[in-house]
Amino acid sequence: TQLLEQSPQFLSIQEGENLTVYCNSSSVFSSLQWYRQEPGEGPVLLVTVVTGGEVKKLKRLTFQFGDARKDSSLHITAAQPGDTGLYLCAGGDSGGGADGLTFGKGTHLIIQP
């Protein structure tokens, strides 16, 4: 089973600050997805990255896939209270199997107004 480690587990910062959360593994993934989950709801996809070194931007969010496709980061610029939530990374098996995604345990992010 491939494992994804997310750090930090918990992060509480003030509105307007920048932050980066990380998703690391010793395994290679065919792709990596980031989801955000709000209380009482299911996760919602933010982005999928598939190429080593790929960088994608979604407004104030910047996602990067590591060159070796073993890690990823999510950077938020000028965080806002609406960014509060649980951020999950999920990796696709590079072994060719159709066994779904491997999820990290998530980063709980709180943005204080």
Residue 88 binds other proteins (CB under 8 A): yes
Residue 30 binds other proteins (CB under 8 A): yes
Residue 107 binds other proteins (CB under 8 A): no
Q: How far is the CB of 15 from other proteins (least distance, A)?
A: 27
Stretch that binds other proteins, among 12-20, 52-60, 69-77, 96-104 (CB under 8 A): 96-104
Cα dihedral across residues 18, 20, 63, 111: positive or negative: negative
Joined together, the tokens standing for residue 93 give 């098996």
Stretch that binds other proteins, among 10-18, 40-48, 58-66, 75-83 (CB under 8 A): 40-48
Residue 42 binds other proteins (CB under 8 A): yes
Binding site for other proteins (CB under 8 A): 1, 29-31, 33, 40-45, 48, 50, 88, 90-93, 98-101, 103-106
